Structure 1
């Protein structure tokens, strides 16, 4: 007997299997080729592209950048987003205006804001001009032209761009906490800080886990901001897997190697999401949730 719900899920199932999984399979096939993307006779190289990846220093440098990028941006976005959500859940005047201000960067396209930040952090940009005019000229430097500061700038832009999303999710999650529990805590003499740490923060734990999973995948997929602002430079200082895949596949025309990098990206994203979910489930088991 045919399941009654099959007609409803069949279009989505066909779409996912026919397009998404087909593309993954096709990328996996391309990863076994030595191909420039246009030649009619690609050469099969088996797993050679994957062997080359394992000894590719730029690949490992991109992985290291991804790890640092995730740790810094996730921590900053979580701290700022949670703080803003907690503040705007209190009695604040013009709360709606503040919500709009915090969330606005999320809807700004990276291609629009990238030229602004390139100009701001340029050697003759607004940041150095401001530092010079407030007596901090000794801090002026070419922020995007040196390896030591290019990555922090990319992290800053990312935190500015996506903290609004973290704020919205935390704000919604805090709205689901039983007000009677908060009122009971205040009646028992708990301070605001104590209430946040002992009640609100555990109450939004599932949101934090979801944000961690999204951040892991997002860090691995990072492309637009570093490419548009620094093009992965200087000297690969802001190179990520996304920017590396693009440079290898399009300008350098090593489509097979780029496809192998894409498969590695997919595997790492899945492993990262599974690791975060497994850690969350293990904590739930230890706490008896």
Structure 2
């Protein structure tokens, strides 16, 4: 209908329409200032509300990040003026055996911590999602350590794993006829005990992430699998576990970052000992930068920590963050 209407237009009308279209096409753009002003008038209130957040980001994120990088090339111990020393502190880090020991301890802690935390969180989420009675009560009990002060939990953990017979775990071991263990006073056990503390503290939050993921899985997939005769274990490995891949990726990232930032338990229970076996990179940074007032070397350690976390996150993104399609 539209085609015949245009076809029946007079030659004069068609020429006029083409002229108008051509003039609109070649209409000059608004000057840059006018476009900016128009955009500002349209979104002024949004920009105004963003200003406080932007100021906070610049002051507490961008400025410290840039200042600490500059500080790595300076010699400044709070008192006195900073002095430029080039790569002195970076070279000192390369030759610092204790710093490398702290990095290795942190990696060991991550090995003890990441997979058990994810596994325990998933198991707790499966228990709650299974339709067990009083699921809300169990959810609150499992989540309680997350909202409890770390100081309180560390105090309880220190009492449980005290390296004498007065410790609760040693009391149970002696009751079973097993020799008393030193736990926090043993360089081979202390780091694992601290990892257990962190797992107990954080597993409740990973449970919430996995529970949210389980709630989003389509129930029809389970029903179809049951009709086909699939066992619960097969359903878990072929449906539940693969569909939780985005949750696995997110939890792996946050637990990895958290494992490399471990400080509280070391500070409260071991002080980095025995024999530096629990001295992690963040605790060593604290000792150098704050306790020792060597802020420049502390800045170097902070950037080392930043680069380690960045590399691990990129590796995890490459192997865990790939998009997966299910048909």
TM-score normalised to the size of structure 2?
Answer: 0.82
Once the two structures are superposed, residues 204-237 of structure 1 have per-residue CA deviations (whole angstroms, 9 ceiling, x without a partner) of: 1101101111122112211111211111111110
Q: Provide the rounded CA distance (Å) in 2 between the counterparts of 1:186 and 1:52.
A: 62
CA RMSD between the two structures: 1.9
Name the residue aligned to 1:269.
Answer: 309
Name the residue aligned to 1:134.
Answer: 176
Name the residue aligned to 1:189.
Answer: 229
Q: 1:148 aligns to what SS in structure 2? A: coil
Name the residue aligned to 2:214.
Answer: 174
2:268 to 228, 244, 261: 228
Deviation at 1:274, TM superposition (A): 2.1
Deviation at 1:195, TM superposition (A): 0.8
Once the two structures are superposed, residues 227-282 of structure 1 have per-residue CA deviations (whole angstroms, 9 ceiling, x without a partner) of: 1111111111011111001111122221111111112112222222222112234x
TM-score normalised to the size of structure 1?
Answer: 0.92
Deviation at 1:185, TM superposition (A): 1.1
Q: Provide the rounded CA distance (Å) in 2 between the counterparts of 1:100 and 1:28.
A: 43
Q: Is the 8 A contact 2:285 2:302 kept in 1?
A: yes
Q: Please say which of residues 86-95 and 175-184 is displaced more in the overlay.
A: 86-95
Q: Provide the rounded CA distance (Å) in 2 between the counterparts of 1:68 and 1:19.
A: 31
Deviation at 1:83, TM superposition (A): 1.4
* Bigger relative contact order, structure 1 or 2 (CA pairs below 8 A, ≥6 apart): 1
Deviation at 1:41, TM superposition (A): 2.4
Q: Does 1:284 align with 2:326?
A: no
Q: Please say which of residues 199-208 and 248-257 is displaced more in the overlay.
A: 248-257
Name the residue aligned to 1:162.
Answer: 202
1:25 to 66, 80, 102: 66
Deviation at 1:110, TM superposition (A): 1.4
**Residues 8-157 of structure 1 mapped to structure 2, 5 A cutoff:** 8-37=49-78, 39-124=79-164, 125-136=167-178, 138=179, 140-157=180-197
Q: 2:183 aligns to what SS in structure 1? A: coil
Deviation at 1:284, TM superposition (A): 3.0
- The number of residue pairs the alignment matches comes to 284
**Gapped regions of structure 1 (runs ≥ 5):** none
Q: Provide the rounded CA distance (Å) in 2 between the counterparts of 1:172 and 1:118.
A: 33
Deviation at 1:54, TM superposition (A): 1.5
Q: Provide the rounded CA distance (Å) in 2 between the counterparts of 1:235 and 1:44.
A: 34
Q: Provide the rounded CA distance (Å) in 1 between the counterparts of 2:49 and 2:316.
A: 32
Once the two structures are superposed, residues 45-95 of structure 1 have per-residue CA deviations (whole angstroms, 9 ceiling, x without a partner) of: 112111111221122122222222222211101111111211221121121
Deviation at 1:288, TM superposition (A): 8.6
Q: Provide the rounded CA distance (Å) in 1 between the counterparts of 2:243 and 2:316.
A: 18
Q: Provide the rounded CA distance (Å) in 2 between the counterparts of 1:116 and 1:85.
A: 25
